[in-house]
Amino acid sequence: DGGITQSPKYLFRKEGQNVTLSCEQNLNHDAMYWYRQDPGQGLRLIYYSQIVNDFQKGDIAEGYSVSREKKESFPLTVTSAQKNPTAFYLCASNRGGQAGVTQYFGPGTRLTVL
Amino acid sequence: AQTVTQSQPEMSVQEAETVTLSCTYDTSESDYYLFWYKQPPSRQMILVIRQEAYKQQNATENRFSVNFQKAAKSFSLKISDSQLGDAAMYFCAYRSAVRDDKIIFGKGTRLHILP
C-alpha cells in the first residue's frame, strides 16, 4: 500500500536534546512538508521541499532543521534552540506541479519535552 | 498574502441532520485550489473534498458538498445525513495555482455529532 509513514508515534525528549522525527513516503511524490499543530491551532508550516537536495523555510522554521537527501525521506530535527517544542507534528507530501497539488498526510508524531 | 478564515470554532449537529461549515478566504489570484480536510480524534488528516477555482460546478463527494462562491470568496462545506463518524476538526485550505508551493490552512472548526 502506498502512503506516508511517520515514526515514532510518541516521542519524549529531555530539555536541551536534539531529536529527529522520521517521515517516509512511497507515493513517488516530489514535494514534502512538515507542519506543527498546537491545541486549538491550525497547521503551521515549518519547512518544505519541492525536490531532492532543496528545501525552503516555512512560517516557523526557527529551532528546526531538515534534510532531503532522498526523494522518499524528509526527516525533521527539533533542536535545543526550539523554545517550546512540545506539539503534534505532521508530515505531508504531494506529487508536485499543477497536476499534483493535493497534499496527503502521515499519521503524525506527538513530541513531548520533559 | 492569502488568508483563510473559519469563523466557527465549534459546531454541533444532530445525527442524520445537515450542517454547513463556513470558510472565507482572501486572495488577489484568480486561479487556485480550495480544500476541506477532516481530522478525526486519531489526528490523521484526511482529504474530504477539493475544488478548482476555474470550475463553476460545486464539487461533491457522497454526503459532502461545497458551495463555492468565487466573487464572495466563500467556500462552505455541507455535510448531509450527519453520522457519528463525521465528528472531527475540519480545516479549510487554499493553494495557489500559479505559485507551486504551500497550502494555507484555516484554524479549523470542531464538529460535534449529537446522537
B42-61 pLDDT per residue, tens? 999 999 999 999 998 999 99
Contacts of B55 (CB under 8 A, 6+ apart): none
CA distance A37 to A47: 14
Using an 8 Å CB-CB cutoff, list chain B residues near A102. Answer: 33, 35, 47, 50
Give me A77's grid cell.
530535527
Q: Does A51 touch chain B (CB under 8 A)?
A: no
CA distance A16 to A4: 29
CA distance A38 to A42: 7
Q: What is the mean pLDDT of chain B?
A: 94
Q: Does B16 touch chain A (CB under 8 A)?
A: no
Say what the pLDDT of residue B80 is.
98
**Using the beta-carbon criterion (under 8 Å), do A101 and B97 form an inter-chain contact?**
yes
pLDDT band at B4 (very low <50, low <70, confident <90, very high): very high
pLDDT at A106 over 90: yes
- Are B25 and B94 spatial neighbours (Cβ–Cβ below 8 Å)? yes
Q: Which residues between 60 and 89 in chain B have a beta carbon less than 8 angstroms from any beta carbon of chain A?
A: none
Say what the pLDDT of residue B100 is.
63
| Chain length of chain A | 114
Using an 8 Å CB-CB cutoff, list chain B residues near A4. Answer: none
Say what the pLDDT of residue A40 is.
76
Q: What is the tens place of the pLDDT at every residue in A80-91?
A: 888 899 999 999
Give me B104's grid cell.
494555507
CA distance A63 to B102: 20
Q: Does B1 touch chain A (CB under 8 A)?
A: no
Say what the pLDDT of residue B37 is.
97
Q: What is the tens place of the pLDDT at every residue in B64-87?
A: 999 999 999 999 999 999 999 999
Say what the pLDDT of residue A1 is.
61
Q: What is the tens place of the pLDDT at every residue in A31-71?
A: 999 999 998 778 999 999 999 999 999 999 999 999 999 99
